[in-house]
Amino acid sequence: MKRFSLVLILIIVLMLVWGIVSYAEEKKVEILAFCGSASKPAMEECAKLFEEKSGIRVVLYFSGSGEMLSQMKMSKRGDIYIPGSPDYMVKAVNDGVVDVNQNVEIIAYLVPAILVQKGNPKNIQGLYDLSKEGIRVAIGNPESVCVGLYAYEILEREGLLNKVSKNIVTLGGSCSMTAALIPMKAVDAIMGWEVFAKWNSETTVVIFLKPDQVPRLAYIPAAISTFSEHPKEAKQFIEFLKCLEGQQIFTKWGYLSTEEEARKFAPGASIGGEYKLPADYVSPVGK
C-alpha cells in the first residue's frame, strides 16, 4: 500500500511539473519582426542567439522593405519594423506604423555598389559600363525594394537612367532575390549593396562606385511599431542588435557598423533621408 501511495505521489508531482513546464512554454513571449531582406543573414543569426539567451522567440519575416511595410499596415501586426534603408522608415512614420516620437536605432550601414560574376568576364569597371551593348543588368524593384530605389536614384543623378534601363532585364523582388541573380548567372551585373559580395563570396565580386557617384549612404534602421503587443521584449531585441555581440555578428557578415567606416567609400555623401520616385516613373522592364 505504501509503495502504491509513493508511486501515486510521484505521478502527481510529475504531472504538476509537466503542467508548469507546459504552461511556461505556452506563455513564452514571441515577437514579430518585419524586415527588409538587406539584413537577412545577420538578422537570422542574431534572432537565434537572442532566443537562446533571453528565451524570447523572434519570428522574422523577410521581403522587400515596401512589401513588409504594406503587410504590417494591412494586418496591423508586428512588433518591430527593420527596413533595408532609412527611406522606408520615413514612410513607416508617415503611415503611422512607427510613432514619430519613437527612437529609431541604426543597426548597420550599407554602401551602394555594382556586383558582378567572379572573374568579371564582361570587364565591368564602373557605372558607365552598365550601358554597354550586351550587358545584362538587374536592380531591385524601385517601387518596393530599398536597394532598387538607391540604384534608380544613382542612375538618374548620373544621367545614365535611359541608357542603362535598356540593359535592365529583371527587377529583384527583395535584396536577397536581387543578390541571388549573380550566383544564378541570370545577369552580368546588379546594382546592390557591397555586402552582397560577402553573402556569395564564391561567385560574386564587388565593383565600387566612384565616391562622387554615391549621393547617399544607407543604413538599416529598427524601431518598435505602433502595433506592438510586446514593446518591452521588442526593445530588448533591438538593444541586442546594437550591443557588442549583435554587432559582431553583423560585422562577420560584412556589414559596416559605424558611419566612419561607411564614409570611407563616399566621404561627401549624405546619410539617411528619403528619395522619391518621379511621378511619371515607368518600370524599365517590359517597356
Reported as a single tens digit per residue, the pLDDT across 243-257 is: 999 999 999 999 999
Instruction: Categorize the per-residue pLDDT at 184 as very low, low, confident or very high, splitting at 50, 70 and 90.
Output: very high
How far, in whole angstroms, is CA 275 from its chain's centroid? Answer: 18
Pick the CATH number of 28-108+219-271 from 3.40.50.720, 1.10.3720.10, 3.40.190.10, 3.90.330.10: 3.40.190.10
Paired with 172 in beta bridges are 140
Residue 122 confidence (pLDDT) above 70: yes
pLDDT of residue 102: 82
pLDDT for residue 13: 46
Confidence at residue 22, expressed as pLDDT on a 0 to 100 scale? 42
Every domain of the chain and the residues it spans? 28-108+219-271, 110-213
Gyration radius (Cα) of the chain, Å: 23
pLDDT at 101 over 80: yes
Residues 108 and 220 sit within 8 Å (Cβ to Cβ): yes
Question: Which residues share a beta bridge with 81?
Answer: 34, 223
Q: Do domains 28-108+219-271 and 110-213 have the same CATH topology?
A: yes
Mean pLDDT for the stretch of residues 13-18: 52
Q: Is 178 helix (H, G, I), strand (E, B) or coil?
A: helix
Phi, psi of 64 (to 5 degrees): -65, 145
| Average pLDDT rounded to a whole number, residues 231-240 | 97
Report the run of H or E that residue 71 belongs to, with start and end: helix 65-75
What's the pLDDT at 274?
Answer: 87
